[in-house]
A = this chain, B = another copy of it.
Amino acid sequence: MALSTQPYKGARDFYPSDMRLRNYMFNTMRQVARSYGYEEYDAPVMEPIELYKAKTGDEIVNEQTYTFEDRGGRQVALRPEMTPTVSRLVAAKRQELGYPLRLFNIGPRWRYERQQRGRYREFFQCDIDIFGVETVDAELELIQLADKIMKSFGAKHSMYVIKLNSRQFINFFLADYLGLDEVQQTSVAKLVDRMNKLPESEFVAQLDALCTPTQREDGTVERLLAVLNAADMDALPEELKHHETLRQLQQVVEVLHGAGVDNVEFDSSLMRGFDYYTGIVFEVFDLHPDNNRSMFGGGRYDGLVGLFGVEPVPTVGFAMGDATLANFLEVHDLVPQLDSDVQLYVAVTGDVVQEAQKAVAELREEGVNVAVDISGKKLDKQLKTADKKGIPYVIVIGQQELASGQYSLKNLKTGEAETHSLARIASLLQDSRN
């Protein structure tokens, strides 16, 4: 029986044109991260399952990790996220690393989730983290960096909003203000995370079901809704609006507005799923009506490094995924035309393949990407192949061209052709790239 040609369910094959888009997205993130002094790291895709049990959150660990026993009896997981891993790396060299420590990683992560738009079981993320900074200067840098990445893709502030909240504020209003117990707090936070995906009546009914009779009588649901629906900090109930965390958030918003990131706003309904956040959290939302959703986010998690038995290191980080970003670029018409990396196709006539390879060596030395057609097919078929591959230029090499050293450079889009030496062709193609 023939083997299946399908990729693993929920994962994707990346043919060259798909890979060009993925490389474009992550190379853009890499470049911006580097411009802020972040350095690339990597780590094994397998980690002991305990690493995630500590802080990642029950749903991911129990229902969504890829977990198995290796041939040596170790219980391992394919990393569902990078945060615990980077914390492990920092803990391992706690004393040797200089702080602030700025790190980024680009690579795959895995979660066994139901498939939906923008969500895959194998997905790619760029994680960007800063270690060793207690002040909000860390959050300010990362939010500006995230904004800069979005702008580098051509996004305008009208296309997305950056929402801010704080774990301390969330804890205060769920526990102290509303009087929810710990189990209720977790359930309510999860429900609020799905608020926009539920009809309002359904959302309210589920909230209601989470409350005790006494809480229901006390108007707990109504008070929660009032907080969630507050248009800004001023619209919050009196007992909440003077909480000290809000002053810090207000300051962050003001500095960011002053730095030109004027699409940042406080949002009391922003929860963030992971258990490890300890301070400010933020998320970037797509404002397009066809793709109105959270794209990526992050926040402060000061406790993770300490789980490895060393002194804790204050940390702020965020992660951007490939699929949600690709959706954003598509709906906002921001996907650039990404031509083949191959700049020149060489069709060969007669038995001169090796001579042709030798002749184009100088083009390759000059940095031109050149594919030689070594199929032995007829000339018209070779030219069709170049066209099929979307390669912009073609030359034909036969005995005559080799003897004269002159080659007709044809632009496959315009049909125009000019005759030049290979040295001249190298310089023309280099210019056309820049």
A: which residues have CB within 8 A of B? 2-9, 11-16, 18-20, 22-23, 34-48, 50-51, 54, 63, 66, 68-72, 74, 76, 88-89, 91-93, 98-100, 102-103, 108, 112, 122, 132-133, 135, 137-138, 140-141, 144, 255, 258-259, 307-309, 340-342, 345, 353-354, 357-358, 364, 367-376, 384-386, 388-389
Contact = CB atoms under 8 A, between A and B. Distances in A.
A37 B375 contact: no
A357 B141 contact: yes
Which 7 A-B pairs give the minimum distances between C-beta atoms? A37-B371, A2-B309, A68-B68, A11-B44, A5-B92, A16-B39, A98-B388
Contact of A40 (B16, B72, B389): B16
A207 B226 CA distance: 83
Given A35-B368, A45-B122, A368-B35, A89 B375 contact: no
15 contacts: A2-B309, A5-B89, A7-B44, A7-B88, A11-B44, A14-B42, A35-B364, A35-B367, A35-B368, A36-B364, A36-B370, A37-B371, A45-B122, A72-B112, A133-B374
A303 to B, nearest CB: 12
B122 A307 contact: no
A140 B3 CA distance: 31
Secondary structure at the A interface, as helix, strand, loop or mixed, is: mixed
Contacts of A384: 98
A308 B385 contact: no
B48 A45 contact: no
Nearest to A384: B98
A70 B76 CA distance: 13
Contacts of A373: 100
A48 B92 contact: no
A215 B13 CA distance: 50
Given A14-B41, A45-B122, A100-B373, A3 B308 contact: yes
A140 B370 CA distance: 16
Nearest to A307: B3
